[in-house]
Amino acid sequence: MGLSLGKVVKADSHIHYLCQIYGRHEVKADSVPQPHHYALGNFVQIGLGGENGLIIGLIYDTMLLNPDFGNLGPRLSPEHELKIFAPDYLNERAVLVRIAAVGHVAPSGEIFQGVPRLAASSDAEVREMSPAQIREFHRGSDGGLHLAYLPVLLRQTDPLIYDMVQMMLGQLAGLLSEAQRAELDVISDELLWRTQIGPLGGTQ
Amino acid sequence: MSQPLGRAKGPGPRPHTFLFVSADADQTLKIGEFVVYPVRVDGREQQVLARINEREAIRLYPDGFSADPTVDPNRIAAMVGYSGRTSELFQMTAEVIGYYDEALGDFVNPRIPPRVGTPIWLADNAYLSHVLSRRRVDEQGAGSMGWLLSRPRGEVPVAIDLAAVVSTHLAIIASTGAGKSYTASVLIEEMLRPTTRAAILIIDPHGEYSTLNEIPNARELYGDGYRPEARIYAPGDVRIRVGTLEQGDLRYLLPNVSERMSYVLGRAYRTAEAASRRRCGEADRWTRAELEDAIEKEGENEADSFDRGSANALLWRLRSTVRTGAGHIFDDQEQTPLEELLRPGRVSVMQLSQVDSREQQVIVAALLRRIFTARLRTKNGQVDEGDEFYLPYPVFILIEEAHNFAPSGEDIVTTGILKKILAEGRKFGVGVGLISQRPGKLDSDVLSQCNTQFLMRIVNPVDQSKVREGVEAVGRELLDELPALTKGQAIISGAAVNTPMLCQIRPRYTTHGGAGADAPEEWVRYMGGSNVARRQRESAPLQQPGRRARLFKSE
């Protein structure tokens, strides 16, 4: 099992989830997720509970929650004494990541890529995926590399999508055979051209 | 097999074309290059050959990346974060030629474009050598003209089928200086190889083929005791008997013949023919004197002084134009035997460089008629050995400046017989090769009946459009290459090859004689130190005894 990263706190749509990353008061000190665990383009799995399997998602945005932002008024306790006098207040600060659902893994191990039929519930646990799980998720029924969710991602209007996809492809490339990497390069190169050269006037 | 160079994208803009995409990193996919893709036919995998006709860039850096010539646009791309490998991507339009059917000896078009994503490979040299040419190099009747232009020198030899050239005729079309006489000479050399030993006659109005007299020394053409021969006939060396001239020839040859004169000529001609028939049983043995007599008599018989004037004018024209005897082409009795002019293993070059153009046309018409009649009679068993019309083997006649002998929009003395040979020559073994630098001025029917074409650089738009009309075998896209061809490069198409192709003509064994004069070189040589001194010496009257003698002789 991969490291537990946080829990689902909100869903903006059937595939867009908001996950609150566990802070140091919520899990053991050695299990606190570090920034590289919830980096942009990382694969995560969201538990559906019971016999429903898992939703596979991709982190496509990061937000910071800080209730102190915009509060310019006087405080009873100075900043360095908040830990003693108002620990709850500190707990309200959090890292939130946006996750786009890109597939589903049934308890039987059957893999589906694309928009999952099932949705996660609030408080559903979000975990990181191991390299073996990522490889398995991308293995098609013919044994070849499978990225059927890519069009779903690219349909998103989020300005970070293309960059996130490049990071995801980069992460994936490191897990694949040379032949599969060549296939991935075709997609990667095409997206790179569209994002880096296309906007400057390159022929597309 | 190496890696594929591209993948099929889909059907092309025209029937039998398809598109494929390639990064072509090594720049191997040139226009005219051949590619193959696999297809299953009757359970067997076949390689379908296709030719690249268009190349269009579909992925290019923005123009601005090349704004500073000292900066590599790849560097700019890397600077803005592009780390991909494919900065150029091309879409090729390829024309399907088909898979080669060994039994048929020709290509069969699958009539369906390749599926999307079908791998496209560069056709390998061995496959191309096997399927493009009708004959193997060194095989009987093979003409090794050069090699495929898109491949390195000699890797894919182009061997044409010389039997097809002779039986279905040839056209060599090119602008001045593109190498048409060079190409024709290479063809002649090939036809004189021991494996072919053709009987060739060249009509050479400009004296460009005199260097073919080196042919007997070309060791490359020796074999089994065989050594090719060459005969160069200067004007006057070949004799045409005047009796073989037809009434139309005379009418065409004589300047400004009025209708009245033509009438008198017609009557006199028939009288002369009758006289000849009475004398020796043949109508074509009349002499110029007999024709003159007949014309005079026609004039005397006419009561009208106007007719007498016409007869006299005709006589004057005949005597000044049709000269017979020593040093002239026309003769009353003699004519060069056909078996001397045309003999297997021999090229005869008939130079007409100092002959008036109308006389040239009449000479060629008379000669072609004679050759055609000889082949027809020999083939039909009407003549035996020893007869002047006995010609027991096929012949090939190469005509330079063909637009002068079959001009567009005009019917001259040679047009009829040329068309007859082009239409019927196959049956009787008379092949014609027409060479022209002005296809626009060449008769369309004549051009379209030449079933093998060597097309070299043509820049003139009128000539290009004429070639498009007259040469059906070559696609529009390949013809677009015509102005871009350089010296010695030719599109070979038609009956002698399996598919049109761009060919680099091989170097000649004999010296090239068709090159234009180098005027600056000649001027400089004329003004060279020793030449100037020599001329001054020669033009000084008092220093030359001969000149001095003349000065004092004037009294």
Q: Is residue B128 part of a domain?
A: no
Which pLDDT tens digit goes with each residue over B527-548?
Answer: 877 778 787 878 877 655 555 5
At residue B542, the 3 state secondary structure works out as helix
Q: Mean per-residue pLDDT for B18-35?
A: 92
Residues of the domain holding B230: 142-238+336-505
CA–CA separation, B249 vs B364, rounded Å?
10
User: What are the structure tokens assigned to B418, written together?
Assistant: 């040329």
- Say if residue B260 is in the same domain as residue B293: yes
Residue where a domain stops, chosen among B65, B93, B123: B123
In a domain, B136, yes or no: no
Residue B224 has pLDDT above 80, yes or no: yes
Question: What is the predicted pLDDT for the residue at B304?
Answer: 61
Structure-derived torsion over alpha carbons of residues B424, B428, B433, B438, reported in degrees to the nearest 10: -20
CA A91 – CA A80 distance, rounded (Å): 15
Q: Look at B86 and A203 and tell me if their CB atoms are within 8 Å.
A: no
The two tokens of residue A119 are 């949705």
pLDDT over 70 for what percent of chain B? 95
In this predicted model, what pLDDT tens digit does every residue of B177-208 receive, in sequence order?
888 999 999 999 999 999 999 999 999 999 88
Where does a domain end: B92, B123, B154? B123
Name the helix (H) or strand (E) containing B108: strand B106-108
Token output for B70: 């000292």
A204 contact residues in B (CB cutoff 8 A)? 59
Asked if residue B348 and residue B276 are part of one domain, the reply reads: no
How many residues comprise chain A?
A: 204
pLDDT value at residue A78: 73
B81 touches chain A (CB under 8 A): yes
> Best mutation site among A197, A200, A204 for testing chain B: the one with the most B CBs within 10 Å?
A197
- Residue B1 is assigned to a structural domain of this protein: no
Q: Nearest CB to B59: which of A185, A193, A200?
A: A193
Question: What is the structure's pLDDT at B555?
Answer: 41
Name the residue range of residue A130's domain. Answer: 4-200
Residue B375 has pLDDT above 90, yes or no: yes
Task: Report the domain count for chain A.
Answer: 1
Please state the rounded mean pLDDT for residues B461-484. 84
Pairing of strands B452-455, B489-494: antiparallel
* Cross-chain Cβ contact A192/B62 below 8 Å: no
- Among B77, B96, B123, the domain-final residue is B123
pLDDT at B154 over 80: yes
Q: What CATH code is carried by the domain that includes residue B155? A: 3.40.50.300
ipTM above 0.85, yes or no: no
pLDDT digits (tens, 9 = 90+) for B400-433: 999 999 999 999 999 999 999 999 999 999 999 9
Distance set, CA B190 to CA A181, A182, A184, B135, B276 (Å): 54, 50, 54, 13, 43
Is B138's pLDDT higher than 50?
yes
- Is the minimum CB–CB distance between A29 and chain B shorter than 8 Å? no
Same domain, B206 and B247: no
Which residues in A lie closer than 8 A to residue B60 (C-beta atoms)?
Answer: 202-203
**Would you call B60 an interface residue with chain A, using a CB distance cutoff of 8 Å?**
yes
Q: Which residues of chain A have pLDDT under 50?
A: none
Q: What is the mean pLDDT of residues B15-43?
A: 92
Looking at the structure of chain B, the number of domains it has is 4
The phi-psi region of residue A50 (left if phi > 0; otherwise alpha if psi is between -120 and 50; otherwise beta) is: left
Whole-number Cα distances in Å, B317 to B255, B257, B262, B264: 7, 9, 12, 13
pLDDT recorded at residue B515: 62
- H/E element, B284: none
User: What is the chain A residue with the closest CA to B56?
Assistant: A203
Cα B364–Cα B338–Cα B141 angle in degrees, nearest 5: 90
Residues of B in contact with A193 (CB under 8 A): 59, 82, 84, 86
pLDDT tens profile B488-506: 999 999 999 999 999 999 9
How open is the CA angle B330-B169-B390, to the nearest 5 degrees? 45
Same domain, residue pair B248 and B234: no
pLDDT digits (tens, 9 = 90+) for B60-105: 888 888 888 888 888 888 888 888 888 889 999 999 999 999 888 8
Give me the residue label for tokens 């048929």: B104
User: What are the backbone dihedrals phi and psi of residue B296, each rounded to the nearest 5 degrees, phi first?
Assistant: -60, -45
Interface-testing mutation among A163, A167, A203, A204, with chain B (most B C-beta atoms within 10 A): A203
